[in-house]
Structure 1
Amino acid sequence: MSNTLFPWQGDVWQQLQQMRARLPHAILFHGAEGIGKTVFAEQFAQSLLCETPLPDGHACGTCGSCGWFVQYNHPDYRRVRPEILDGDEAGDGEEGEAGDGKKTAKSAKAPSKEIKIDQIRALAGFMNISTHRQGQRVVLLYPAEALNTAAANALLKTLEEPPPNTVFLLSSNSLDRLLPTILSRCRKFAMPLPSREQALAWLRQQDVKDADVWLAEQGGAPLTAYVQSQSEGRELIDEFLQHLTRPGIDGALKCAEHLQKTPVAELVAWQQRWLYDLFSLKLSGTIRYYPRYEKALAGLAAKVETGALLRALKSSNERRAIADHPLSARLFIEEMLLDYASMFA
């Protein structure tokens, strides 16, 4: 695991080393989903625990501490993330931050989407015992927006009175979903998107076909683009986008019936990007996510009012907040597509 950062993370790693002289008790790594924040934070955790770190700040990878770390049994290290129900172990990395970018094994059990208060309380015993060889102890928590209300408040109390020799590393895809009080207790560290050239080079090294298409559709996030490219969902995405090119009542009902078993949150995200491209095309003539559909988007942009697009984007944001728990997937999708069709009626 030593020194296995993604190619686009070298510069930000050097920036991070400037903090080591006066290390804050909590660092919040934030940026777009799918750019490797958790991998980066985990590398930093290993380097903090390493007995003989290298001059560039990376862990040596050979000492006893590094040996424990790569086996996930270091006595001074804890990971906190949404648990797999019934105690099954998840693959290494949150959704969109899939470890080294490779597909991870999926548990047969459904994963929890929350970090719960019991997980935060369990840290108390860990933080009240002496550290191994009087060194640091490190807690990595991701994604931070998965903290439910009770867990967030419990974590806040710990951050307000941090135990000695303890560093909290948090990773977040969405700062606006975190309590302002937690944000105020952390040193924020921004993780930028890689350049398009860096991301495409990495995807092509992973033998991803149509890498430019996948990268554009995922907003420039290479790990999410990789995961999507390895899924069996290309046909579903194209079917959904084809429907968006021909909005109508009959099509909306048929599409909802056919795609009702597709994760609703994914459909909302695909439509959000489509709406953003329509809005961007109308205002500035540019397309970010779906350049393959430029002709269809241009035709639709000419027919829709800017105000209607703004209202649709607002509705789409509201839908995304509840998309993980729809009462009826089919009715949810029908309503979403019928609202979309009404803009062009």
Structure 2
Amino acid sequence: MLYPWQGTTWQALRAQDARQHHALLITGEPGIGKLAFARHLAKSLLCESTSDAKPCEVCAACRWVEAGNHPDYRELTPVVEDEEADSESKAKKKPSAWITIDQVRELNDFVHLSAHRGGQRVTLVQPAEALNLAAANALLKTLEEPPPGAIFILISHQWRRLLPTIRSRCRQLPMPLPERAQALAWLEAQGLADAAAHLAEAGGAPLAAIERADASALALRRALLAELAEPRQLDPLALAERLDKQKLEVGKVTDWLARWVYDLARLGLADSVRYYPDDMSRLAPLASGLDPVRLMRYHDTVLAAKKLASHPLNARLVYEQLFFAYQQAVRPMPKG
């Protein structure tokens, strides 16, 4: 089913008729329900009821899509590979960083077959930016000469990372963030305590707000921000060692750090914050007298570290470098 804030986007798409183009690229921030929207669209395209305004949710086709076993529906996602494990431990699973060319080749076999149910064949690719270069080029060939009845739905959190040629073969559907009041009402209906603070920290994305509200992660984030608020007392080596022992993901720590620095810079430039309004009492004194340009350069450094979070880096070394650089970034500008 669609989320409450997706009704307008759905109506606009249906008014254009999703069948008019063989490929749709859904873009927007993570945590706003793009995947749910795409699956809802896939159901409507494969639904065997007489109405095409929305999926009926009760026919065999709708139930098969929901269960992930419709013969004319495929989802292309990053593959799951075995981690290396010694003989005394069980092999664990972790998602790889890429959608591979072998997956696209298997997909090509699927899209060139006749539909089992006599309708269309629908493929959902998410996230599309996870296509490695070889896979992207292979998919591009199919998008350029799509078989009759084949429809592709691509989801992207970072559409600028896609090949321009792939973007040009798709009709783009930007999905906006929901209105704050609507998102808050939905979060409160889910029973989320302190919904406003979590929504702000998630940048206005309701599903991300629920994910970020995990109690253990919340306590760790607050502890980190408390130390960042006192840069003169901050011990980069000790903090890096503690975070490393806590086995926190580098991506999560760099995300918190980037949002904190963004709010510091925004306070200096626009006298407002986006992510941590509940921390204004700590942000405001620290932001006074800082160089916003220096902060944004440091912000770029943190984002670069975040992009490398999936690589096998030495987390402790990454933290040490970031926190030493943070102390330099929040040095007050000379007076006069």
Deviation at 1:85, TM superposition (A): 2.0
Q: Which range moved further: 201-210 or 308-317? A: 308-317
Q: Please report the TM-score for the alignment, with normalisation by the length of structure 2.
A: 0.91
- The equivalent residue for 2:296 is 310
Q: 1:276 aligns with which of 242, 248, 262?
A: 262
Aligned residue type for 1:341: Q
Deviations 1:190-214 (A, max 9, x none): 1111111111111111111111111
2:22 aligned residue: 25
User: Does the residue aligned with 1:120 lie in a helix, a strand or coil?
Assistant: helix
For 1:63-102, list aligned pairs within 5 A: 63-86=59-82
- Equivalent residue number for residue 242 of structure 2: 258
Aligned to 1:291: 277
Query: Which residue does 2:153 correspond to in 1?
Result: 169
Deviations 1:74-114 (A, max 9, x none): 11100011122259xxxxxxxxxxxxxxxxxxx95222222
Cα separation, 1, equivalents of 2:215 and 2:70: 33
- Do residues 210 (structure 1) and 194 (structure 2) align? yes
Give identity over the alignment, percent. Answer: 47
Q: Secondary structure at the match of 2:151?
A: strand
Distance in 1, Cα, partners of 2:76 & 2:290: 46
Mapped to 2, the partners of 1:70 and 1:324 lie a distance apart of 30
Of the structure 1 ranges 227-236 and 132-141, higher mean CA displacement relative to structure 2 is found in 227-236
* Pair 1:319 & 2:267 matched: no
Cα distance in 1 for partners of 2:267, 2:300 equals 18
- Pairwise CA distance, 1:325: 1.6
Q: Which residue of 1 aligns with 2:38?
A: 41
1:117 aligns with 2:101: yes
Q: TM-score, normalised by structure 1?
A: 0.89
**How far apart in 1 are the matches of 2:98 and 2:62?**
29
Contact 1:249–1:338 under 8 Å retained in 2: no
Instruction: Answer whether contact 1:53 1:59 (CA < 8 A) is retained.
Output: no
**Residue matched to 2:212:** 228
Query: The residue matched to 1:29 in structure 2 has which SS?
Result: strand
C-alpha distance in 2, partners of 1:169/1:289? 31
Q: CA shift at 1:249, angstroms?
A: 7.4
2:4 aligns with one of 7, 25, 36: 7
Amino acid across the alignment from 1:75: P
Q: 1: distance between equivalents of 2:18 and 2:209?
A: 36
Which one has a bigger Cα radius of gyration? 2
Instruction: Name the SS of the counterpart of 1:18 in structure 2.
Output: helix
SS across alignment from 2:258? helix
* Alignment match, 1:159: 143
How far is the alpha carbon of 1:53 from its aligned partner?
4.9
The structural deviation recorded for 1:19 is 2.5
Instruction: Give unpaired runs (5+ residues) of structure 1.
Output: 88-106
Question: Alpha-carbon deviations, 1:167-199, whole Å to 9, x = none?
Answer: 100011111211111111111001111111111
Aligned residues: 322
Task: For residue 311 of structure 1, give the secondary structure of its aligned residue in structure 2.
Answer: helix
Show structure 2 runs of 5+ residues with no match.
Answer: 84-90, 332-336
> How far has the Cα of 1:248 moved from its partner?
4.0
Structure-1 residue corresponding to 2:321: 335
Cα displacement (A) at 1:22: 5.3
- The range that moved more, 65-74 or 271-280, is 65-74
2:308 is matched by which residue type in structure 1?
I
Aligned letter for 1:182? I
Deviates more, 1:5-14 or 1:304-313: 304-313
AA of the residue aligned to 1:112: S
Q: Displacement of 1:231 after TM fit?
A: 5.2
CA contact (8 A) 1:37 1:171 kept: yes
